[in-house]
Structures are given as structure tokens and as C-alpha cells.
Structure 1
């Protein structure tokens, strides 16, 4: 097979999104043409994009650098600008900001002396957008996003139009104009759904859309587009970029639906894929999400380790870490962290993600007045944004604050509204938490039978989900003096586990075999519905079994 046939085969493979075949065929053609000039600039761009989509960023950069040099040597300035744009994007994407900024500056210098309205100017505006964003200039970033859309439409460039709509939509959301921002993101997705976008831009739009919806707790859109992204990734078995984001988003939906083991698996897969690309900040998000699930399940040591790992990647997992501090009895430290976060987080989107957790932390610290003020802020934001997840969260916080003020008449309708909204989102853990508030409210109103029914239903859900701390809390509210059905021998084993003894040490002290101790532990985990030795020890402490 000759070089011409190889190039044709590579083009066909690239068009059908068979990235591995395209890359291998072009690499072979390049080697066969080594006696001459090698691949031309167009083929080098295709080779670079195939390498990018396979996750081989070093090979991608090598191909793009060669293509750039060819365009410069032949005096094709606009072609060189295109290569410089992609070199900037790839370097920035893998955390080499200084190198990426250098390539962006070179592209802008090349274009400075080029007359006329050319589409390449629109691509370089993308870097202007991110510069505005870094400076916190949301108004300027919004204006740049609108200009990108305008350039794309003038030149009939679907990639650029979609990118501009994403920039515009995210800035509208950050400015508090959430319905308008979501409408812009929906419009960007039209190009994706119609197959008008190149693969890299389609993946970018998918992830930006889902991330934007996740930030405002628009779980309906998140679920819809995460399913679509998963199908899109599945059609490209060799694809590496975007698959980490896809795993994170799947994990977030699984967490919402309380499928915790599956969610943890997705977050761990996302970390693995991000590590392959050298994307540390995104890996930090995955580790933070993982920590939240572990905290809900009562595995506090593992949750703290996950939050620490997120911080190492440059991601602050809040308010999850503050809620973990409360769970471990370090309430003053949690309150201080929340006050700092509220003081430095002013835009409504990022603030909305903190407020519900802040209410819980402030109430734990008996800061009822401040908690009520934060709950009012969350309610106002939820009404402005109109997203069901935020409205559910706001209703829950209203009920919490009302109960802290011993106002069951105000708490009960808010708690019932939270339970209904979370139920519509198929979020069983959150529904059960709202039921706890319903139970507390009707108890204050003197209806003990209804309170017991609500609390018992919530307790059953928490046990089924393995949400150990929430289950312990409800058992205390019910007044259930329980040993979880443990036998006397199992209680002895549990006490020794809580004291930090290993299986072998327990076997020696109780004159048992290691195998028998392991069997007792299995029974303990099953009866208490706990996932680990740490959670079992927590149960023992919280139920005065020590």
C-alpha cells in the first residue's frame, strides 16, 4: 500500500472517529515519507488531533509543532495561526499555562499585521475570554463570548458559534441570569446534536453544558446530557479526553440517586483517566466528590484522605470538608471555615453551592441568626435560578432553621416541600433527610405517632443506603436503645475493634481463631448495616457500647 493510499485510509478512519487507525496509518505514512518532507501540514494537523483524542499529548504537540513550522516556512500566516491556537490549547489543557500563553501570544502577533475579518480572530478571542475570567471580569468575558458568536456566524463556523454560546451561557449563569444562560447552553447543544461540530469542540460543549447545569443543581439537564455524553463517548472506544469528565458526571448522578458504590467506582475511574492526561484540577474535583460520598456513608478517615488528595490537586472540597469537621466534633473549626468561604465567595453560582452546607454548620455552632440569614439568601437564589435541586435544598434549609427556632408551624410545610422536590429528582437520601425534619416538626406539634412513623421510614432508608451517620442520628431521635441485634460475643468483638485491635489480637484475647473473628465481623457489618471497621467503631461509640 502506497503513501497516497495510506493518507486516504487515514482520512476515512478519522471521519468515522476511529482515532487509533487514523493515528497508526498517518504515523506509518510519515515514516515512509521520511526520505522526503514527511507529511504535509494538513496531514500533520489530522495526526495531531488523532493523537490528542487518543490522549497522547506529547505526540500531538510534536505533530502540531511540525505543522506550524511548515506553515511559517511557506508564508501561510493564517494556517500558522491555527497551529499556534491548538498548541496553546493543548499546553494549557495539561497544566503548562506559561507555554500555552506563549503560543497564544505568538498567534496574536502573527495575526496583528493580517488585514481583514478572518475567522482565526474568533479563535484567538477564546483566550481573551479566559483572561477576563481569570481577572474576575465577568462583564468583559460576556462581551467577548458574544463577539465569538458573532465571528462564528459571519464565517459559518459551527465550532466557533458553539464555543461562543458556551462562553456566553456560563457568564450569564455566573452573573445570576440563569434561565438565559441555560438557554444559551441549550442552543450550543443544538450544533452538537446535529453533528455539526468537530469532535474536540463537541466534547468541550458537552462537558461545559453538564458542568454549568451541575453548578446550579439543574439535575434534570445534568441527567439528560450525561446520558448523551456517555453514548457519544461509547461510539469512540479509543477516546481518552472527555471520558474523565463523563465519569465524574455519571458519578454525580449516581450519588444523587444514592447508588454510592457505583458512584465511588465512577469517581475512581475519573481520577485514573485524568491522571493519564495530567489534568490535576479535574482530578481534584473527582476526589472531592468521592470524599462527599464517603462522608455520607460514615467512613470519615477515608473521606478526609480523599479531601486531602483533592487539596493536593488544587481543589478545595467545600462545604464537604466543613461538614466532616462537624461530624468529627470540630464545630468551631467548621464554623470558621464556613465564615471564610462566605466572605470570599460572592458570585451567586459558586455561593449557592456553599449555602446549604453553611446553614448546617452554623446551626451546629448554635449560630441560629446567621444560619437564618444564609437560608434566606439560598431561597432568593433558588427562586431566581428556578432549578429544582436548589429549590429543594432551600426548602430543606428553611425547615432546619425553623426547627432551630422551635417554630414547627413554619418548619413543617418547608420540610414537606423539600421531601416532594427531592422525590421528584429521585434522591432517596435527601428525601429521607427531609422526612427526619417532618418527623421533628410533627413531634413538636404533639403528634408522636406520626413523628415515629416519619422517623422510622427515614431510618429504614438510611440503613438500606448504608448512610450510617444519618441512621445513628435518627435512632437517637426515635429513642431506640439498640445494639443492632448483636450477640454478646459480637459485642465483645465490636468493643475490641473500637479499641483498635486487629483480627489476630482479638482472636488471641478471646481465644478464638482468626477465621471465627472474621465471621463475627461479617455478621456485625451486616446487622449494623455499616461498610467498615471504622463505621462499626463509630456505631459503638455513638450508642454507648464501649
Structure 2
């Protein structure tokens, strides 16, 4: 760098090269040339913005924020309020994404203050991007829609394609949140077309990709998620790994890989995503930790799963419903039930965002013998699946209904429902979810006395679980293989409770023996009475003796 000191011609050459590289998206050359030039000359405000953008794409966040701050100051001094407001907007956006929410909010307030001093123009549209996101997070779809439509109007009025694309994106997300999924996805496709045709600048192209992938994940729309993630990965391939967008793509790719049964690759992608984004965007790094936790939980590494969830929480993410499911896997059923109930007490989530919590609640409530809670969760899940039409949501809702019928002792009713759920997961090419559904089918066939069908379902499920290394599920298959036909449609836990009731134990004594709460035991006893058609402990005991559930020689 020493050779350029005092050489205005060479400085100008570096600036020209830097600007050309910036226009071409060659961020490394742009960054190096701007860095070289600014050692001997002060960069103009426009060059500082270009330098800030190049630094951002390279993951040089501190240098990017510093350059934006200098540009903002120069614009203010020159009386260029619109440009100063845009610099403040990007400072607010990038600072907030990094995790410094108070400073980010301060820059956004400064952006609004500057915009209030000038007539309406394109700059007024960009803060609406953040307003749309915030409104959707609060489930205020009316406000989100209004902001999105305003962005589009400003974009068209001032020939700003970025604003139009992001406004169409916001409108599409708002429609999806309202349950108008087909209309919403059509708008997301429109925004994606604007990106793929090269009409949108790189930064906002990345934003569109990220939001569309997120919607696909929420809808459990595996086909669309696979297509969009593949396209986003190709778009990200020239970018430096230190940039935010490759990390986001890795997280969504990990989610798709997990559902498609490629757990090793999914975990590797999530680990790399965390490493790439932890200093750029705390939310993405937290989401990567959550995905790591999911894979570990499914494989039976509960200590590792809990550690990853704690790390996600430290970065600001909600560890639920993963943490509740870890507690369930640990056998702490009451803690799991309390945990998921507390998580659902937050009514700010949209119905779509609540679906994964309801899926977990059904599983936990069934384990606790709390059929009323399972039914309530299943109803909301089904209602959301009907209005959002996501194939994965439909499969989850169908399986939940079938599992509840089975728990109620209605094996005949459960059978066609679970068969439908199994077919839905198969069509989505989600092997683990298909295999989980086969376990329920095996229990259903057992209740119906079809041992051949039981064996077929268990064999198919075991093949998948063994390939994935899903230890808890492998153990579940082993348990089901060794379990005799359950009388009266009783679950394994209910049979245990009935044996203890028949031995003369009180609910408190049963709770102590099985490490459950008395409330959970009370539910199990009530379910046993219902399934057996009895109204007293003595009648239940008689049934147990008559049907060989209890060996009379031991009493």
C-alpha cells in the first residue's frame, strides 16, 4: 500500500476500479481498492456507502457500520436528508440483525426523523420493510398488509424495483398468515421471478430468498422448500462464506435435509451456518443451534440437544417446543406438559407459527394420558392445516387425529386416518415422519389382532430408524416387538397403571412407583375406566384378573 501514498492518479485509479467492482458485485476487489484509496484520500459519502456495502458482503460488519456512519454524517452535513435517512436505515437494519437492538432502534428513529423533513420519495418506502416484519411478528396482518402495499406503491411511483419486490413479498406473507395460502404463494412466486430475472439488487434478492424459504418451512411445504433452497444455494455459491446469506441458506438447507432423512448432512450444514453467522446475525445463529438440537434429540443425544437449545436461547431464540420434547424424551412428562403449556400461553404467535407447538403438545398430552388437552391441540392443528393447505401440516394434523383415536381405544376409526397420514408423509419423501406414523399403525393393527400387519409396519419403520441412527425410535420398535396384544385398547403406560391399581395401590403410590404426578395418574386411571367400560377400581381389578393382565398367583 505504500506505493500509492501521495499519488492522486493512482488513488483515482483505485476508486474507479473499486466502483466498477462494486457495480459488478466483485466485493473483494471493491473492498480492497476502497481500502487502498482511503489511506491517502477521504472517500466521498457515495463511495463510503459503496465501501460499506462491499464490507457487509464480506462479513466485515464493523468496517461496514463504520463506513455507513461516516457516510451518514457527510450526508447530514451536506443537507442530503434522503441519503442520510437511507444510511441510517441500513445502520438500523444491520445493527439490529447483529443483536444490538437498542442501537438499531436508535438509528431507525433517526431515519424517520430525517424522512419527516422531506417530501415523500422512494426513501420513505424502506422503513416499511421493517414495519411489515414487526407487524407480522405481532400477528397484526392488517398493519403488515398496509405497509406492504404502500411499499409497492412507492416503488412503482419512483421506479424502484427493490421496493416493489419486497412489497410483493410482504403482501404474500400477509396473505399466508391470513390463511389465503394459494394467493400468498402466488405473490411469493412473483417476487422470486423478479429476483431470478435480475431485476432486484443483490441485497434485496437475498432478503426475498430468505423470507420465501422461511414461509416454506413454516408451511412444511417440502416440495417448494426443496426447490427454493436449491435455487438460493446456487445464488449464494459465489458469495463469501462470511456473508449472512450463505449462512441463512445453510440453515434452511439443513431443515430440508433433516426432513428428507439426511441427518448427517443436515447437522453439518447447521454447525457451519452457526459458525458463519454468529457474529453477523444472532437470530440465524440461534436458528442453526435449534436445528442441531432437533437432530440430536431425534438421535437420543438428549444432553447434546439440551446444550444446543440453551445456546440458541442465549442468542435470543425461543427453545420451544424442542425443550419440552427433550423433557418428554427424558421421561419427565409433567415437566414437558407444563413447558409446552407455558410456551403456548404467548398469544402473539400466528396460528401458523403455533402449529409446531400444537404438534408437540399432542404428543406430550398423549404420553401424559391427558386426552382432553390432546384433542384441543388437535382441533387447532386441524383448523390451521385446513386454512393453510400445507401438505406437511395436513400430514401432521392427520396423524395427530389418528393417534388420539388410537389412545381412545378406537382402533377401527384410527386405522384409515393413520393410513392417510402415512401416505401423506410418503408423498413428501419424509422418511422419519413416515416411520413414526408406521409405529402408530403397528399399534393399531395390534389392537385389531392383525399380527402380520404389525410385523410389516415395524420392519419398515425399523429399517428407516436404523439408517438414521434414531436410537429412541429403535428402542420403541424393540418394545413394540416384545409387547403382547393389549386388551381393551390400553397403552403400555395404562396397562402398568392397571396392574398397580389391581395390586391395591393408591394414586399417590402409583405416582411414586412410576415417577409421575398424581394428576397424571388420575388421568391414566380415568382413561382405563373409559376404555374398559368400568366405573370403579374393583371392577377394573376384576377385568385385569379375568383377562390375565395380572397373574392371580402373585396376589
Q: Which residue of 100, 108, 115 maps to 1:111?
A: 115
- Post-superposition offset of 1:163: 1.6
Equivalent position of 1:329 in the other structure: 331
Contact 2:254 2:266 survives alignment (8 Å): yes
Equivalent residues in 2 for 1:377-456 (5 A)?
377-456=380-459
Distance 1:136 1:214 in 2: 18
Deviations 1:427-482, CA, capped at 9 Å, x for gaps = 1111111111222222222211111111122112211211111111111111189x
- Post-superposition offset of 1:239: 5.5
Deviations 1:264-301, CA, capped at 9 Å, x for gaps = 11111111112132x22322221111111111111111
Equivalent residues in 2 for 1:491-530 (5 A)?
none
Equivalent position of 1:494 in the other structure: none
Q: Secondary structure at the match of 2:395?
A: helix
- Post-superposition offset of 1:142: 1.9
Q: Which residue of 39, 45, 57 maps to 2:49?
A: 45
Q: Which residue of 72, 75, 99 maps to 2:76?
A: 72
Distance 1:374 1:286 in 2: 27
Distance 1:237 1:101, change over 3 A: closer
Distance 2:408 2:167 in 1: 48
Distance 1:234 1:242 in 2: 10
Q: Which residue of 10, 25, 34 maps to 2:33?
A: 25
Equivalent position of 1:532 in the other structure: none
Structure 1 unaligned spans of 5+? 482-546
Equivalent residues in 2 for 1:280-359 (5 A)?
280-345=282-347, 347-359=350-362
- Post-superposition offset of 1:130: 4.7
Equivalent position of 1:10 in the other structure: 18
Deviations 1:368-422, CA, capped at 9 Å, x for gaps = 1221222122122112111111111111111111110111222111211122111
Distance 1:54 1:167 in 2: 27
Q: Which residue of 85, 96, 106 maps to 2:89?
A: 85
Distance 2:397 2:140 in 1: 29
Q: Which residue of 183, 186, 210 maps to 1:183?
A: 186
- Post-superposition offset of 1:12: 2.6
Distance 2:43 2:126 in 1: 25
Distance 1:13 1:237 in 2: 15
Deviations 1:132-188, CA, capped at 9 Å, x for gaps = 456553321221111111111111211111222222222332333333322222221
Equivalent position of 2:504 in the other structure: none
- Post-superposition offset of 1:75: 2.1
Deviations 1:185-212, CA, capped at 9 Å, x for gaps = 2221121111111111111111111011
Distance 1:384 1:141 in 2: 19
Equivalent position of 2:533 in the other structure: none
Q: Secondary structure at the match of 1:126?
A: helix
| Number of aligned residue pairs | 475
Deviations 1:85-126, CA, capped at 9 Å, x for gaps = 2222222121222222222222222222323x3111111333
Contact 1:359 1:374 survives alignment (8 Å): yes
Q: Secondary structure at the match of 2:118?
A: coil
Contact 2:405 2:414 survives alignment (8 Å): yes
- Post-superposition offset of 1:4: 2.9
Structure 2 unaligned spans of 5+? 1-8, 485-555
Q: Secondary structure at the match of 2:345?
A: helix
Equivalent position of 1:505 in the other structure: none
User: What TM-score does the superposition give when structure 1 sets the normalisation length?
Assistant: 0.83
Q: Secondary structure at the match of 2:296?
A: helix
Distance 2:397 2:189 in 1: 25
Distance 1:302 1:170, change over 3 A: same
Equivalent position of 1:499 in the other structure: none
In the alignment, is residue 370 of structure 1 matched against residue 370 of structure 2? no
Q: Which residue of 222, 227, 231 maps to 2:234?
A: 231
Contact 2:239 2:246 survives alignment (8 Å): no
Contact 1:18 1:238 survives alignment (8 Å): no
Q: Which residue of 264, 271, 276 maps to 1:273?
A: 276
Distance 2:18 2:101 in 1: 32
In the alignment, is residue 56 of structure 1 matched against residue 64 of structure 2? no
In the alignment, is residue 95 of structure 1 matched against residue 103 of structure 2? no
Distance 2:393 2:311 in 1: 28
User: What TM-score does the superposition give when structure 2 sets the normalisation length?
Assistant: 0.82
Q: Secondary structure at the match of 2:17?
A: helix
Query: Which deviates further from its counterpart, 7-16 or 464-473?
Result: 7-16
Distance 1:377 1:95, change over 3 A: same
Distance 1:64 1:221, change over 3 A: same
Distance 1:367 1:235 in 2: 52
Distance 1:90 1:360 in 2: 39
Q: Secondary structure at the match of 1:285?
A: helix
Distance 1:133 1:465 in 2: 36
